[in-house]
Amino acid sequence: MLVAGFPAGAFQTNCYVVAPAAGEACVIVDPGQDAVDPLQAALAEHRLTPVAVLLTHGHFDHTFSVQPVCDGTDIPAWIHPEDRALLADPMKGISRESAAFFGGRLELREPREVRELTDRGELELAGMRLRVDHTPGHTPGSVVFTTDTEDGTEVVLAGDTLFAGSIGRTDLPGGSHEQLLESIRERLLGRPDSAVVLPGHGQTTTIGRERASNPFLRGLAPAPGRGL
């Protein structure tokens, strides 16, 4: 499996391209602010052809470039229905203070083709199987995507649900600290220690590392089973 990522824009949001190997089809995850040029460079470097954009949630630092990326390559965007409204009206997902920074308005548009994700659904894209888990808390429509490497290691595209040493903020509209912790407990903590977490910001981590050392997860027991 090939995973290439880079931090985009002022918010340093991680944008990823994921493919079975170089020279094949790929999916793009969370093309944020100023992601178009570095994304094109990554696609060219690895000779990849995008077939879809996957959005872990609707905050504009993760969706800023989704319309030009999708419409420029004629591919669909996938997002959970509870966050879909944020694609065209990102102000619904930010604080008053942040809105004031943008003069009270920030105009974005939906891509021509938007498809809605379902909890515990599976996507067959670019020769890969990606599982979808709804993980509300950071936003009502937050999700994580999971695929497996050739040796069976889980790769979790976690958005802003879980970070290395932290969790997503819950003080924005639609956020809930209790709901986020429950999402992490039910959908992430029961996974193998080796599961690799690719977060929306910051460095890569593993489920085992976060279970052992993340201060926000202290005392949080996994749900029975693997949470999948």
* pTM of the entire predicted model: 0.93
What percent of the chain shows pLDDT beyond 90? 85
101, pLDDT greater than 80? no
150, pLDDT greater than 60? yes
Average pLDDT rounded to a whole number, residues 83-100: 77
164, pLDDT greater than 90? yes
The pLDDT value recorded for residue 228 is: 41
**CA proximity to 54, closest of 30, 35, 22, 71:** 30
